[in-house]
Amino acid sequence: MVFNSYTFVLFFAVLLALHNMPFSWKTKKINLLGASYLFYALWNPPFILLLWLSTIVDFYMAKLISITEDKTRRRMWLAVSLVLNLGMLSYFKYGGFLLENFTMLMNSLGIAFEAAKPDIILPVGISFYTFVTLSYTIDVYKRKFAPESSFLDFALFVTYFPHLVAGPIVRPEDLIPQFKQPKKATGQQFMWGIFLLTLGLFLKVVIADGWLSETSDLIFGLPFPVNPLDAWSAVLAFSGQIFCDFSGYSTCAIGVSLCLGFKLPENFRYPYAAVGFSDFWRRWHITLSTWLRDYLYIPLGGNRAGRFQTYINLMITMLLGGLWHGASWNFVIWGGLHGLFLCIERLIKRNPKKAGVAATEAEEVVLQATVIPVRRNNISVLLRVLLTFFLLNVTWVFFRSPDFGTAIRMLLCMFGVITQGPKMLTTPDMLKVAIVTVGLLVCHWNMRERSVKGLFQSMPWWLFGTLWGIMLILIVLTQKSTGSFIYFQF
């Protein structure tokens, strides 16, 4: 089930009615848990078994970790959780990729080897709920908090449907405490939640799918070079598409959750106004970047083991972050480019100690959730924003391309090395991409230190209502041409 479907409208209406009935709080939580399983089961019912297995094992492993004082036994229980979760993720997401590369390696060594193509279906959202459960057992192991005593609350934390299949990636402290007391949206929360759901659907249905997807899909799907303008139009179209698609999902998830009385963490903060790549990762997929920081980058040593090791830690973090997105060398290259740009950026930054600031772990340059404000009237800052956006589009080529050859061909076309390709896009196609691109950049630049809620609360009621109505009309008119969210495949 997807947010941009009429099935979801019916599902959500029934759930809201049940949630506002005079039932006990435990009954309402059971209703939410059952609805979450139904939401997920409509994709592929057997994969519910994976959710159950992960939920049960992590719940009891955390309890064993908590009551055990022996370090060896605690590590063993943690290892059970890690092996189960990462094992499932590796098999379903990377099994075919590993077998394919092993076959290529054997053949390159002169060993004739051919394996049957594995028939593996990727469970929707497995990358997201794996990170959710891993954060729980790791934090219990670190004695950050005691294990959850209520299996119902823990199961609901793992499977809560708004975040289940595409984030935000929640931590135990984000949701479990909210399940302890009865929650019901106030009138203001409900109204704002419905508006956020509308805004998210507008980003997804109207802009990502209605205006941009066809251009991106057409050019990236061609087996031959194209005109440089067409190549740039396709890349810019995907740049806008993936932001509107993914941030649209997160906005829908936050809005849906707010209608039920629960708050989910922010996941995007106008990333195309980023001043450099460290700032980009403070703004793009924030819950993933902070997860990678806390559970990978800092445990590797962060910036505590010297400059060279810091660069190594950055590269490892971003390479694995790229691989998390998909079983393809293109994603590894995408992550590697981000790691390279982060290293270069860190290399040219002034040593914080020279400015009288101690470089502590809490002040890591990369993968933080704190936005650094800048003066919007500073021309040099604006130029750095545009340079960052330019380099981001270079990395998006590898993220979007179906294979390495397509990515290289697109880059050669973009930078004029290949100029003889046919012109495939019409002027209206390119004009739509240009309008969305400029609109996104202007919006992100002006909103980089503001909030959506603050903006709309400052509007006259009639203007707010008019914009809301226009979005609803456009969603209904465009709905027939929309598809699943991009991040469902990750």
Least confident piece of the model among 28-37, 344-353, 424-433: 344-353
Q: Where are the alpha helices (DSSP H) in 306-460?
A: 307-325, 329-348, 379-400, 404-414, 427-447, 452-457
Q: What is the per-residue pLDDT for 61?
A: 94
pLDDT in tens, 50-91: 899 999 999 999 999 999 888 899 999 999 999 998 888 888
Q: What is the per-residue pLDDT for 357?
A: 37
pLDDT in tens, 426-478: 999 999 999 999 999 999 999 888 888 888 888 899 999 999 999 999 998 88
Alpha-carbon distance of 469 to 329, in angstroms, equals 44
Alpha-carbon distance of 362 to 364, in angstroms, equals 6
Alpha-carbon distance of 63 to 185, in angstroms, equals 32
pLDDT in tens, 198-250: 999 999 999 999 999 999 999 999 999 999 999 999 999 999 999 999 999 99
CB distance 342 to 317 below 8 Å: no
Q: What is the CA radius of gyration of the chain?
A: 23
Neighbours of 44 (CB within 10 A): 12
Q: What is the per-residue pLDDT for 194?
A: 95
Residue 480 has pLDDT above 60, yes or no: yes
Whether a cis peptide bond, with omega within 30° of 0, leads into 22 is no
Whose structure tokens read 């066809």? 214
Residues annotated catalytic, as ranges = 325
Strand, helix or coil at 149? Answer: coil
Amino acid at 358: A
Q: What is the per-residue pLDDT for 303?
A: 84
Alpha-carbon distance of 196 to 392, in angstroms, equals 27
Token output for 9: 């409208």
Residue 355 has pLDDT above 50, yes or no: no
Q: What is the per-residue pLDDT for 362?
A: 37
DSSP type of residue 304: S
Burial of 224 (0-12, 13-18, 19+ CB in 10 A): exposed
The dihedral formed by the CA atoms of 168, 171, 176 and 177, expressed in degrees to the nearest 10:
-110
Between CA 95 and CA 315, with CA 134 as vertex, the angle to 5 degrees is 70
Residue 363 has pLDDT above 50, yes or no: no
Amino acid at 308: F
Confidence label for 372 from pLDDT (cuts 50, 70 and 90): very low
Neighbours of 433 (CB within 10 A): 25
- The pTM of the full predicted model, rounded to 2 decimals, is 0.89
Token output for 263: 């708050």
Neighbours of 170 (CB within 10 A): 27
